């Protein structure tokens, strides 16, 4: 009986920077395949695809990045294992530093370089990678390559409201919720989130604490995002403050407050599960793309 090989799931990024008045794209040369391509790699067990993309870029190029707008998902057949299909999800990404290359050649990646956008198609080995450059050019024409993420997060799994004794704002996460909170860290880091805003209710604070600890930063606690105090006006005030600057931001709140937040942002009206998040890629107050990630 002919049994198809399991699909291979991977992720990567088209990393760009502006250098000397021109755009450059980060590319790698793979020794085994003798090809030039965009950095990418296979997902690890329990890893979300955005985390895979950021990790693989760092491992292959030494350049830490933050993900931006989703670019494309491509699929192609592999020769090994026979019959397997590889599915690769790509994001646009920007370096978190100056993009200086410190990669030492190894038996997988023996060369890494920044190539000008105007000439990178000639260097890339595969048509599928050149098509990704074409997709990037389309995003660039719309200004979407410069979008910044705003992550809207519903707090993780909390203890039962009906069984909780005392002030509901002090209700805490379950063990499962605490695990969810810690698992959010690499996902949020992949988007370069550097500001954390949260309802001051305990279950929201506990959800974002692991990431705030990862950053070594404080949480901006906002009573206007709590179930007890949120109104159309308090939410609008909070979002006006977040609109200032270009800082990639995480906002954590409650199920009952989410419709107010999403409406004020002009975002898709989705109902988030506990621990689920919506990544809004915004520029000049406009949402240019969005992603939904399960808990």
DSSP string, 187-218: HHHHTT--EEEEESSHHHHHHHHHHHHHHT--
Domain boundaries along the sequence of the chain: 8-143, 147-293
Chain segment 7-21, per-residue pLDDT in tens:
899 999 999 999 988
Rounded to 5°, angle at Cα 120 from 119 and 121: 95
Q: Which CATH class is domain 8-143?
A: alpha beta
Rounded-to-integer distance, Cα 228 and Cα 137, Å: 46
Q: What is the CATH number of domain 147-293?
A: 3.40.50.1240
Chain segment 213-240, per-residue pLDDT in tens:
999 999 999 999 999 999 999 999 999 8
Q: b/e string for 85-109 if b means 16 or more Cβ within 10 A?
A: eeebbbbbbbbeeebeeebeeeeeb
56 phi and psi angles, rounded to 5 deg = -65, -40
Strands of the sheet with 148-154, listed across from one edge: 220-222, 195-199, 249-253, 148-154, 277-283, 286-293
Chain segment 234-292, per-residue pLDDT in tens:
999 999 888 777 899 999 999 999 999 999 999 999 999 999 999 999 999 899 999 99
Q: Where does the pLDDT of residue 25 fall: very low under 50, low under 70, confident under 90, or very high at 90 and above? A: very high
Give this prediction's pTM. Answer: 0.94
What does the pLDDT read at residue 1? 40
Chain segment 66-117, per-residue pLDDT in tens:
999 999 999 998 877 777 899 999 999 999 988 888 777 677 899 999 999 9
- The residue among 258, 287, 291, 290 whose CA lies nearest residue 272 is 258
Cis peptide before 183 (omega within 30 of 0): no
Rounded-to-integer distance, Cα 156 and Cα 205, Å: 10
What does the pLDDT read at residue 144? 96
User: From the centroid of its chain, how far is CA 81?
Assistant: 30
Bridge partners (DSSP) of residue 23 are 18
Chain segment 154-197, per-residue pLDDT in tens:
999 999 999 998 899 999 999 999 999 999 999 999 999 999 99
User: Which two tokens mark 198?
Assistant: 């949260």
Going from the C-alpha of 165 to that of each of 49, 170, 178, 239, the distances in angstroms are: 39, 10, 20, 32
Chain segment 31-68, per-residue pLDDT in tens:
988 999 999 999 999 999 999 999 999 999 999 999 99
């Amino acid at each position: 009986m002919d049994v198809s090989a399991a699909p291979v799931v991977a992720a990567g990024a088209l990393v760009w920077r502006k250098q000397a008045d021109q755009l450059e794209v980060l590319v790698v040369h793979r020794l085994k395949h003798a090809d030039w391509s965009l950095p990418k790699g296979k997902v690890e067990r329990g890893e979300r695809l955005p985390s895979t993309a950021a990790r693989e870029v760092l491992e292959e190029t030494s350049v830490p990045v933050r993900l931006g707008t989703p670019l494309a998902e491509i699929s192609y057949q592999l020769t090994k294992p026979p019959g397997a299909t590889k599915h690769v999800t790509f994001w646009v990404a920007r370096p978190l530093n100056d993009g200086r290359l410190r990669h030492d050649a190894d038996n997988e990646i023996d060369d890494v370089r920044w190539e000008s956008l105007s000439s990178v198609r000639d260097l890339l080995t595969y048509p599928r990678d050149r098509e990704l450059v074409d997709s990037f050019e389309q995003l660039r024409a719309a200004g979407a390559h410069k979008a910044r993420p705003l992550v809207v997060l519903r707090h993780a799994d909390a203890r039962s409201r009906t069984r909780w004794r005392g002030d509901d704002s002090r209700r805490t996460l379950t063990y499962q919720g605490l695990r969810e909170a810690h698992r959010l860290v690499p996902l949020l880091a992949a988007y370069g989130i550097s500001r954390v805003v949260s309802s001051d209710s305990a279950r929201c604070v506990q959800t974002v604490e692991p990431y705030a600890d990862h950053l070594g930063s404080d949480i901006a606690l906002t009573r206007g995002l709590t179930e007890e105090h949120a109104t159309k006006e308090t939410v609008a005030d909070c979002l006006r403050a977040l609109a200032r600057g270009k800082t990639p931001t995480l906002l954590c709140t409650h199920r009952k407050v989410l419709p107010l937040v999403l409406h004020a942002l002009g975002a898709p009206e989705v109902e988030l599960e506990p621990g689920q998040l919506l990544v809004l890629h915004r520029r000049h107050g406009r949402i240019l793309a969005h992603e939904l990630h399960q808990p």
